[in-house]
Structure formats: structure tokens, C-alpha cells
Amino acid sequence: MTEPTIYELSSPGRVGVRFPESDVPRYDPPADLLRSDLPFPELAEIDVIRHFTHLSAKNYSIDKGFYPLGSCTMKYNPKINEVTAGLPGFAFSHPLQPVETVQGNLYLMYQLQEFLKEISGFDAVSLQPAAGAQGEFTGVKIINAYHKSRGDEKRTRVIIPDSAHGTNPATTSMIGLEVVHLPSDKRGNVDLAALKEICDDTIAGLMLTNPNTLGLFDENVCEVIEIVHAAGGLVYGDGANLNALLGITRPGDLGFDVMHFNLHKTFSTPHGGGGPGSGPVAVTAALADFLPAPIVGIVEEASDDVPPLYGFLDPPQSIGRVKTFFGQFGMLVRAYTYIRMHGPDGLRKVSEYAVLNANYLLSKVKGKYTLPYDRICMHEFVVEGVWPDLPDVHALDIAKRLMDYDFHPPTNYFPLIVHEALMIEPTETENKQTLDAFADALLKIADEARNEPELLKNAPHNTPVSRLDEVKAAKELVLCCWLPEKE
């Protein structure tokens, strides 16, 4: 059923929430600075509750079912995270309070910096970036600033593998650097010969996602990094796929120079329908002075029975601030809670079972779907959503048909180097029964594609709306609700 918009539900004179009347003498704002009208809806509280509850029922979510969206790590989001982030001492703290009054926050942030350093094998961390893309932006800016600080002005090019997320090249452009494309080899690794050819003294660095977006751990990762280092470049690690590596290996140990974390993927903070994320950045000691300011540190050492005083420090050659205040603090509390509950053994188990689940699912479907790189995968894998003898059935149709089986589809048409890609990331929080049911659905759909292709072409059939006209949306461009008073 179509849910009216809040404007269509509006009834003039209704009030959703009352506020007290003013208890101070009256002051008249300057008349020429008042707005003439505020075209806002008028609703009672129950109207608002019902409206958004109806809308919520039209969403698929992790709480509802399996969400194997590749590269997004849609793991279960523990409910305790919401409780801890909402504790009044956190929720009511103003970012500009004197540091003496927020030692609880600062201690938590300091500890989280330490945890992330240990997990990733780096020497310094900034919690400031707001999301993965901003973490990338911060990391590449740091690389750029590092070269410039050495008077090395020629390094204006960044190497990006063809399997990379779109944010990598977009970030590089935003920083005013040039993108150099790097192909993958037949096993899905970086093409070493091509890399050697590209590397020269104009290379600022390489942005590498490892495991890459094919779900494959680059078998030559150390050599790749050595080649870039030998040419004087630095290596950026895109942490989107860190869920495969907790306690398995540390990017810092492998030789990466910078990386970002996606706390909303690896460390279970909810994705919120598209954010907030959180994208802390970790660097080696050589790059620590370039981190965005401020970072949390000890400003007065402990003495006798007085604990240390935590405060903010400005790295001397900082690239500057990338957002207001200190990061997505509420997300930091959630990630801290998650890491603290898992400990070292629990974190390793997360990655082991994420990889187990992906390989198990792969083992169930690989007979019926073409696997472009037949190797043990990490936390996700990519199959082709198309069959050579069925040219009319596409990955999109498989994705849409999965909704009829009550699953969220995998990421589709990405990575770009796989024809009609379906990128599947089950995460460690799914049980065997769910994986079996999903595999069964994929196998059944493969049969349907052959026997009843119309079922796929017209899918989904059981959702609140069926396939939507995206061309009309872009052409007519209706971006706001219809307003009754403007009729």
C-alpha cells in the first residue's frame, strides 16, 4: 500500500509536541528579518509514529533477514552498542566542554586509538574521519603532504587497481592528483609486470584494497608493496575488507603505510540506512605528524595516585581538520564496546568465521554459477550472474528474484572487472541454516532462469513496490513532496 507523505497527512492546526510558554519578558525580533511562512506539515504525535512505523515496514534490514551485500559487511549489530552509546554521560557531553569534565570520553577515545593501532599494526591513529570515503581522503592527503614536506613535488599520480571501489579514484581527484589504472592478473592479484612499468618518481602511491573486491587476498601483497616503496611511493590500504583480517594478519606488518577503518563494517556500528559511518585512519610512525588535528593524547602524565589527564594534541605537520570536532563519537563508543566484548580471541574468531561462511556458501553455489577466479576466498566472493546460453537473463534479474525469497540481494555489477558481477558477503553472524537457505534460493533461481525466465524478468513480485522507473525519476526529477497549499 502506498504510504502518504508527511505533507499529505498534514491537517492544519495539529500539533505533535508542545513546548512551554516563554517565562521571560517579551523581546520582539526585527520585523524585517522574520520569515513570512514555514511550509511545514502539521501532525499529531500518533500520526508521526504511525507514518514512520509504516515506512519502516517497507525496509529490508539485518534485523529482518540475511543481507549479503558484498563489501558492506552487513553483520549483526549488537543491541548493547545502542545502550552504551546512549549513556547520558556520553550523549549529553558537549564537544567544547573543558577537557577536565570529559575525561571519560577522552579515555575511551584514547583506548580505541590504542586498540586500532594494535589490530592494524600501525603506530598512530586519528578517529576524526566521518566515513570510509573521508578516511581515504585523509589518508591520500597525508601521503601527498608527506611527499611535499620532503620537497618531492613531482609525485602527482596515484595507482588504483581496476577492482577498486569508486571512492578511491574520486578521492584522488578531490585531492588534485591524477589516477593511474592498474590491471589485475589472471588469479585476481595485482598485475606485477604492469605495476613495475607504471612505478616511477611521479608516483605518490598505490591505493590497495586487500583482500580486494573479488574477495581475494593478494598472494603477492608484500612484493606489490616493495615495488611501490622502491619507487619512492607509499601504499594506502583501503580497510573496507578488514573483516577478513582481524587477528589473521596486520596491514602494518605487511608494509602498508596508511589505512582507514570502517567502524560501521568491521566493528558492527549500524549502517543506519546510509550512515553515519566512521572512518578512522592509521599510519606508520613516519606519517604520524601529518594526521588530522586534533588527536587524543595524554597531556599530563599520571603521578602517584593522580591519573593522567587526557586532552587534545595537534600533530605538528597536520593536514588540518576534515570535520568539526573529533569524529563520530557515538560510533566510537559502539565500536569500543564491540572490541572490548570480543578481545583478541573473539576478534580472530570473527574473521575466521566470516571467511568460513563465505567459502561454505561458495562451495554450495559454484557448480551452478561461474566463478571467475576459482580460489579459496576471504570474507566474500564474486560470481557471474549470467549464463552464456541465457543471454536475456542478467545479474539484476537474479538480484531482484532473490527478494521474492526474502533475501537482500548481493552487490551487483561491481567489481567492474567481472561480467555481470554478484558480490556476496555473508559475514560471520549468519548461521548454517540461513546460508543453506540462501544457497538453495540461488540454485533454484538458476533453474528458474532456464525454465521460467519470466519469473526473474518480472521480479520482485512480493515487495511493497515492483521494479521502479529510474529513467522517469531522472528525467522528471521530482525531488520534493507535493505541497497541498502550493496547488
Partner 1 sequence: MFIPHTDQEKEAMLSSIGVKRLEDLFTAVPEKHRFPKLELPDGLTEMEVLDELKDYSSANETAGDLVCFLGAGAYRHYIPAAVNALISRGEFSTAYTPYQPEISQGTLQAIFEFQTLVANLTGMDVSNASHYDGATASAEAGVMAYHNFRGKRSKIILSPAINPQYKEVMCSYLCGYENVELITGGKDPFENPEMLPEEIDDNTALVVVQYPDFFGRIHDFTNLAKKVHESGALFTVIANPTALGLLKTPGAMGADIVVGEGQPLGIPLSFGGPYLGFLATKNELVRKISGRLVGETVDNQGRRGFVLTLTAREQHIRREKATSNICTNQGLMALTATVYMSLLGKSGMKHVANLCYQKAHYAAAVIGKIPGFKVLDEHPFFHEFVVKCPTDVEHLNHHLLDAGFLGGFDLGKVDPRLKDHMLVAVTEVITKEEIDDFAVALKEAAHD
Question: Please, which of residues 390-419 interact with partner 1 by CB under 8 A?
Answer: 399-400, 403, 408-409, 411, 414
Q: Is 388 helix (H, G, I), strand (E, B) or coil?
A: coil
363 binds partner 1 (CB under 8 A): yes
Residue choice 154, 302, 343, 440 for contact with partner 1 (CB under 8 A):
343
Residue choice 229, 360, 390, 453 for contact with partner 1 (CB under 8 A):
360
Give me 370's grid cell: 561461474
Q: What secondary structure letter does DSSP report for 32? A: G
Could you give phi then psi for residue 483, rounded to 5 degrees? -105, 120
Largest CA distance in the chain: 80
Total interface residues for partner 1 by CB under 8 A: 204
User: Closer CB to partner 1, residue 37 or residue 304?
Assistant: 37
Q: Which of 289, 265, 324, 298 is nearest to 128 (CA)?
A: 324
Question: Could you tell me if 278 and 326 are in contact, meaning their C-beta atoms sit under 8 angstroms apart?
Answer: no
89 binds partner 1 (CB under 8 A): yes
Q: What secondary structure letter does DSSP report for 14? A: -
Segment contacting partner 1 by CB under 8 A, of 31-39, 147-155, 190-198, 446-454? 31-39
Residue choice 74, 112, 291, 424 for contact with partner 1 (CB under 8 A):
74
* Residue type (1 letter), 465: V
Residue choice 309, 356, 371, 443 for contact with partner 1 (CB under 8 A):
356
> Regarding beta strands 258-260 and 281-283, do their DSSP bridges make them parallel or antiparallel, or are they unpaired?
antiparallel
Radius of gyration of the chain (CA): 25
Could you give the CA distance from residue 20 to residue 2 in angstroms, rounded to a whole number? 36
Question: Could you tell me if 157 and 177 are in contact, meaning their C-beta atoms sit under 8 angstroms apart?
Answer: yes
User: Closer CB to partner 1, residue 194 or residue 340?
Assistant: 340
Q: Is 360 exposed, middle or buried (0-12, 13-18, 19+ CB in 10 A)?
A: middle
Shortest Å distance, C-beta 239 to partner 1: 13
Long-range contacts of 111-117 (CB under 8 A, 24+ apart): 111/336, 112/280, 112/332, 112/335, 112/336, 112/339, 113/280, 113/295, 113/296, 115/336, 115/339, 116/261, 116/280, 116/282, 117/282
Could you give the CA distance from residue 364 to residue 440 in angstroms, rounded to a whole number? 8
Q: Per-residue string for binding with partner 1, 302-341, x by CB under 8 A?
A: -----------------xxxxxxxxxxxxx-x--xx-xxx
Which of positions 151-180 make contact with partner 1 (CB under 8 A)? 165-167, 169-177, 179
Segment contacting partner 1 by CB under 8 A, of 11-19, 192-200, 227-235, 441-449? 11-19
User: Closer CB to partner 1, residue 285 or residue 388?
Assistant: 285
Residue choice 191, 257, 428, 448 for contact with partner 1 (CB under 8 A):
428
Which of positions 272-291 make contact with partner 1 (CB under 8 A)? 272-278
149 binds partner 1 (CB under 8 A): no
User: Closer CB to partner 1, residue 307 or residue 450?
Assistant: 307
Shortest Å distance, C-beta 280 to partner 1: 12
Angle CA 223–228–234, to nearest 5: 120
Could you give the CA distance from residue 429 to residue 418 in angstroms, rounded to a whole number? 27
63 binds partner 1 (CB under 8 A): yes
Question: Could you tell me if 92 and 262 are in contact, meaning their C-beta atoms sit under 8 angstroms apart?
Answer: no
Residue choice 197, 200, 376, 447 for contact with partner 1 (CB under 8 A):
376
Residue choice 202, 317, 370, 463 for contact with partner 1 (CB under 8 A):
463
User: Closer CB to partner 1, residue 305 or residue 345?
Assistant: 345
Which of positions 219-258 make contact with partner 1 (CB under 8 A)? 219, 221-222, 247-250, 253-254
Shortest Å distance, C-beta 386 to partner 1: 19
Residue choice 123, 349, 370, 453 for contact with partner 1 (CB under 8 A):
349
Q: Which residue has the cell 546460453?
A: 389
Residue choice 17, 193, 285, 306 for contact with partner 1 (CB under 8 A):
17
User: Closer CB to partner 1, residue 184 or residue 450?
Assistant: 184
Shortest Å distance, C-beta 204 to partner 1: 12
Which of positions 179-218 make contact with partner 1 (CB under 8 A)? 179, 216-218
**What residues have CB less than 8 Å from 435, skipping those under 6 apart?**
357, 360, 361, 364, 426
Q: Per-residue string for binding with partner 1, 113-132, x by CB under 8 A?
A: --x--xx-x--------xxx
Question: Could you tell me if 178 and 131 are in contact, meaning their C-beta atoms sit under 8 angstroms apart?
Answer: no
Question: Could you tell me if 315 and 169 are in contact, meaning their C-beta atoms sit under 8 angstroms apart?
Answer: no
